[in-house]
Structure 1
């Protein structure tokens, strides 16, 4: 039966001399692999003390890399010790209706454009009378 660790226990192994990771609910001692890791040892050390599953998956490791993990397996994580992830929920906002906005702009222009033309015409008429 596999040993079960808490996140606090795994978090104690957070240096390049002693590095443990939590990936998919399993604990891996990757200390011996640090020098050989293609991404450098800092990447692995920075993933200690948390669930590193997302970090691991985001990189897109090969099937060979995933198979290599078996030799570093030391036990399982007590999932109740890992904080739950929260998802972003955007604030409630009124629905933006493009059609109503466009409709408003068209009506506004239908009102303003004739007024502007009338104003320009009166202005020209007034200007030409006063300069004559």
Structure 2
């Protein structure tokens, strides 16, 4: 059985309640029947209908069950010429964090430490 292929241009018109299609990682999903059942609400699906929703989908962080369940909505994939690079969830999560700097530590811990010292001094002044 061959998989249906769609261009991104073809899918742009599938952006309303009765005909909502989204693209996630170059796979095309017809979510028209799922709109009212979507735990995140109808709006998020309609906002992404007719478009690539990969980034939005991965930013939310779906459960493994949701990842498996979405397979029942697959209707095809994007044609090879229109495919975008797929960023795996693991590599996105492993991006290096910003290095810890003295300025960062002072900006985060400075105000609470100063307020704590002022509170101690004020307490010592009032209750010798």
TM-score (norm. length: structure 1)? 0.59
Instruction: Give unmatched runs, 5+ long, in structure 2.
Output: 86-128
Q: How many Å apart are 1:74 and its aligned residue?
A: 0.2
- Give the distance between the partners of 1:55 and 1:9, measured in 2 at CA: 21
Superposition map of 1:34-53 within 5 A: 34-53=35-54
Structure 1 or 2, whichever has the larger Rg, is: 1
Going from structure 1 to structure 2, the CA distance change for 1:82 and 1:65 (only over 3 Å counts) comes to same
Q: Are the counterparts in 1 of residues 26 and 83 from structure 2 also a CA contact under 8 Å?
A: no
Partner of 2:30: 29
Q: How many Å apart are 1:10 and its aligned residue?
A: 1.2
- Give the distance between the partners of 1:83 and 1:75, measured in 2 at CA: 15
CA RMSD of aligned residues (A): 1.7
Q: How many Å apart are 1:82 and its aligned residue?
A: 5.9
Going from structure 1 to structure 2, the CA distance change for 1:83 and 1:66 (only over 3 Å counts) comes to closer
Q: Are the counterparts in 2 of residues 21 and 28 from structure 1 also a CA contact under 8 Å?
A: yes
Q: How many Å apart are 1:48 and its aligned residue?
A: 2.2
- Give the distance between the partners of 1:21 and 1:73, measured in 2 at CA: 10
Instruction: Give unmatched runs, 5+ long, in structure 1.
Output: 85-132
Q: Are the counterparts in 2 of residues 23 and 52 from structure 1 also a CA contact under 8 Å?
A: yes
Partner of 2:65: 64
